[in-house]
Chains A and B, each alone.
Chain A
Amino acid sequence: MSAYGVLLDRVNRVPGVRGSMVVALEDGLMVEDDLMVGVPGAAVAALMASIFRRARKSLEGADFGAAQLVQVEAEEGLLFAAAPPQLGDLLLVVVAESWVNVGLVRLEAARVVEALG
């Protein structure tokens, strides 16, 4: 299993997570994915990368610094994209149920990303 695969596998163990991906920030293409059947990974990857780029541009323009994490909350789910420095120009994108423990997802992602670095 690749280093990214290990990262995704650990994040996916958090209850409520429906899958995760490593996505290229610039073009929104999936680099590695581990998703439940039925999750349209390519579309989510493209949309989350786009939202992330927009957020980054906006906040940098307003002197708030570079966006590191974007979380989109919906009535029945949650999307999460993080750009840790260890991943370079890649994003970690997580698709989860609305009842997921967000803190746990973030903690697990941070731990694994740290190990990657």
Chain B
Amino acid sequence: MSATPQQVRQWSDAVAADPGSPAFRPLAEHYRECGQANAALRLVIRGLERHPHDVEAHHLLGVLYRESGETTKAFDEWDIALALDSEHFPSRRAIGLLLAERGEWDAAERHLEKALEGDFTDQEVRGVLEEVHARRRDGRGRPAPRSASAAAPAQTPAAASTPVHAAPPPPAPAAAPASAPPATADGWEGGREFDVLEVELGTLGRERGIVGAVLLDPQGFVVAGRMEVDGHDRGPEIAAVLSPASAEAERAVRHLKMGGWKGILVETADAVVRLTPTPDGGMVAVAGRRDVPMGWVLRVAARVREAALRFLRASGGAP
């Protein structure tokens, strides 16, 4: 329901008097509904500086990013919303639909099934979930051409308070760069290279002490590989959050005039994660356990990168 002029005035006054006022969210939603996306974006970002744990605000920011075509940032915001509240179904639904659009069938299925728990009557989620099941039966995880209905601008999921009426179509997956062979009715013609990469990453991911290896596209989506922790593929989550770290790393080394970034190494008490850039703007991520020497993990990571480069060259994604 549209806000009344009186409500808008009250919200505006409240935000003007105190930028930390919780009125920023309904005001931003109002701006969004009026087509003033930039104003809405500024309001939510500023509001989140004061209310970093506002789940609905993170969700709304995700919707705004999604509508402006910034799917990686949208994913990031919905992911934060879920980290704050794992039962936030609108964000769960949004991430599930986004993953389905990108052909991340396993992860999409996981999110959409949970989203359906929040609303069993959600026909759009049901429809996409059926397609996800069909895709998984047809070929596990291979980037495939989207059906006409799925490729059409999908209605971005949102909370009841943040309905979305028209979202732009997502950008094309990096796994099928502009110079790559076109999709056919039978499937993507670069499938052979993809299959080779999947096998290579699978083999390297099973090396001693290695948790998994994935190739990410420039937007932070998994192109190939898996990273399993306790039986769950964590690749998409790691990719979505760590991918922007490469941009930050690039900024940091540029500030210091250190040339291009060559890699990031992150250590926890249990694991080591190695990220290295690929020429198409994406990167490879390899995780290993701490009970194997770090040099071994780095060596496997170098081999994973070589496999990724072979794939990118063969599919036209790298010189």
Residues in A lying within 8 Å of B, measured CB to CB:
39-40, 43-44, 47-48, 50-51, 54-55, 57-59, 61-77, 79, 95, 98
Contact = CB atoms under 8 A, between A and B. Distances in A.
B264 interface: yes
Interface stretch (B125-133, B174-182, B185-193, B227-235): B227-235
Contacts of A54: 241-242, 244-245, 248
Interface in B239-253: 241-242, 244-245, 248-249, 251-253
Interface of B: 79, 83, 211, 227, 229-230, 234, 237-238, 241-242, 244-245, 248-249, 251-253, 255-271, 273, 287
A71 B265 CA distance: 5
Nearest to A77: B258
17 contacts: A40-B256, A51-B248, A51-B252, A58-B241, A63-B229, A66-B268, A70-B264, A70-B267, A72-B249, A73-B261, A73-B262, A74-B259, A77-B253, A77-B258, A77-B259, A79-B252, A79-B256
Contacts of B256: 39-40, 44, 74, 77, 79, 95
A65 B271 contact: yes
Contact of B248 (A40, A50, A67): A50
Contacts of B264: 51, 55, 70-73
Nearest to A54: B245
A46 B256 CA distance: 13
A75 B277 CA distance: 12
Contact of B253 (A39, A50, A61, A74): A74
A72 B237 CA distance: 21
Contacts of A74: 253, 256, 258-262
Nearest to B270: A65
